[in-house]
Amino acid sequence: MDLDFTVEDDLFREEARDWLNENVPTEPRPQQGLAMREFDLAWQRRQYDGGWAGVSWPKEYGGRGLSLTHQLIWYEEYARAGAPNAQLLFVGCNHAAPTLMSKGSEEQKAYHLPKILRGEVAWCQGFSEPDNGSDLAGLRTRALIDGDHLVVNGSKIWTSNAHLADWQELLVRTDPLAPRHKGISWVICDMNTPGIELRPILIMTQPGHHHFNQVFYNDVRIPLANVVGEINDGWNVAMSTLGFERGTAGMSEQITYGVLLEKLIDMARERFGDAAIEHDEIGQRLAQLRADHAAVRAMIYMVVSRSYAGAPGSEASLTRAFFSQLQQRTRRIALDILGADSLEMPSEDPWIRPYLRSFSTTIAAGTSEIQRNIIGERVLGLPR
């Protein structure tokens, strides 16, 4: 048991800190639309040019090939520097790329990985359907083989940023007669293919906020060469992605939240004074949050420690389940500190929109209920 970083780690940290101090964008990140896309892609390109995109990506794919410890150090410094959370690129960098690295063909990797890393493209995810959300394996979007193409018909929903994405990781049913988990394929879908139509879905944070979409596929032709892994083996391919999402991919945001909580404590001290903080219910709740965020950091360190002994296991789902609820409680307390002012939603608003948005944290990427099923079955060995 040890918390010491090596001299080499410390040098890496210093290098990261210096670069971030000089390069983190000072202008606020646009909340939606093409402006947000341009912002996120430009920031990714800047990181790439500085040699900081893909710290733990293998060198053969353009990364630095460093350890998960280096990745952790980078995220810690990233959070400390207040660098923006480029959410638009999350699916590309944290889903599509690791999936392609582990299951993609040489051609797929050579074409897509550099574009993702250099900030040239944005990806979206096509998993959930109107009738199949948590019950993902029941998905019904059909794909029939026609020559060297798949012809896709059906619909996906809750597709974040489909209107801003170039590519989509798409799950389709290629064998309707096979058992549920056996007839699914994972394909790369070009979002500019004819036959794709989008219906914007507005979200609850503020009037007119367009974040996700329903996507319709009408005879959409996708080359068979875009199937990742074997045809009809898409469930296994998808699970490798989700395992990653539930493991280390959230690390950066988890670290950012610890910094955010200290801001909230300072804000509460300013508003109420030290004495009130130490004796009021709000101080008790802030203390609990402090302990919880300390635990998240310790849990991340434990995930990294376990990675030395093997790939992130299902224990990482414990960290994610803990953190997704903690995000909501952290966002919620901001409103109690603001009091009556919490009804105001100014245009530069660091608290209210993120609070409303935090309701997605226990839904997206597997609801808290699905997370608990996974923990119950895969970590604790309870029967299905």
Partner 1 sequence: MNLLPTPEQTQIIDAARSFLAGEAPVERLRPQHGQIGNRDARLWGDLAELGFLSLGLPEHQGGVGLGPCEETLLYREFGRHLISPGVLGLTLGARLAARAEDAALLEAVGAGSVRIGIANPRGPVSLGPESEGEFHLIEAREAAWAIAWSTDGAGLFRTGEFSAVSDVLCMDSHLTLERARLEVVSPVIWAPAEEDAIGDRALVLVAAYAVGLAEAARDMAVAYAKIREQFGKPIGSFQAIKHKCADMAILAEAAWCQTAFAAVALAKGRGDARFHATAAKLLATDAALKNAAQNIQVHGAYGFTADADAHLFLKRAHVMDILAGDLRAQKAALIREPAAT
Q: How far, in Å, CA of 242 to CA of 380, rounded?
A: 19
Q: In Å, what is the CA distance from 156 to each residue of 13, 128, 150, 217, 317?
A: 42, 6, 17, 8, 25
Count CB-CB contacts under 10 A for residue 52. Answer: 19
For residue 227, the Cα-to-chain-centroid distance in whole angstroms is 23
Among 246, 317, 247, which residue's Cα sits nearest to residue 72?
A: 247
Single out the residue of 230, 301, 311, 339 in contact with partner 1 (rule: CB under 8 A).
301
Single out the residue of 45, 322, 336, 353 in contact with partner 1 (rule: CB under 8 A).
322
**In the complex, what is the shortest distance from the CB of residue 4 to partner 1, in angstroms, rounded to a whole number?**
7
- Write phi, then psi, for 158 (nearest 5 degrees): 60, 35
304 binds partner 1 (CB under 8 A): yes
The answer to whether 337 and 289 have CB atoms below 8 angstroms apart is: no
Q: How far, in Å, CA of 70 to CA of 227, rounded?
A: 33
Q: How far, in Å, CA of 31 to CA of 211, rounded?
A: 9
262 binds partner 1 (CB under 8 A): yes
Site string for partner 1, 342-371 (x = CB under 8 A): ---------------------------x-x
321 binds partner 1 (CB under 8 A): yes
Site string for partner 1, 59-78 (x = CB under 8 A): ----------x--x------
**And the tokens for 367?**
């609801």
**In the complex, what is the shortest distance from the CB of residue 255 to partner 1, in angstroms, rounded to a whole number?**
12
Site string for partner 1, 4-33 (x = CB under 8 A): xx---x------------------------
| Total site size for partner 1, rule CB under 8 A | 52
Among 77, 129, 169, 245, the active-site one is 245
The answer to whether 222 and 193 have CB atoms below 8 angstroms apart is: yes
The DSSP call for residue 132 is: B
Q: How far, in Å, CA of 183 to CA of 177, rounded?
A: 7
Q: Which stretch in 165-173, 219-227, 234-242, 278-286 sits in contact with partner 1 by CB under 8 A?
A: 278-286
Single out the residue of 224, 295, 363, 364 in contact with partner 1 (rule: CB under 8 A).
295
Single out the residue of 305, 311, 345, 349 in contact with partner 1 (rule: CB under 8 A).
305
Q: State yes or no: is 245 an active-site residue.
A: yes
Question: Which active-site residues does the annotation give?
Answer: 245
Residue ranges that bind partner 1, judged by CB under 8 A: 1-5, 9, 69, 72, 262, 265, 277-279, 283-284, 286-288, 290-292, 294-299, 301-302, 304-306, 308-309, 315, 318-319, 321-322, 369, 371-373, 375-377, 379-384
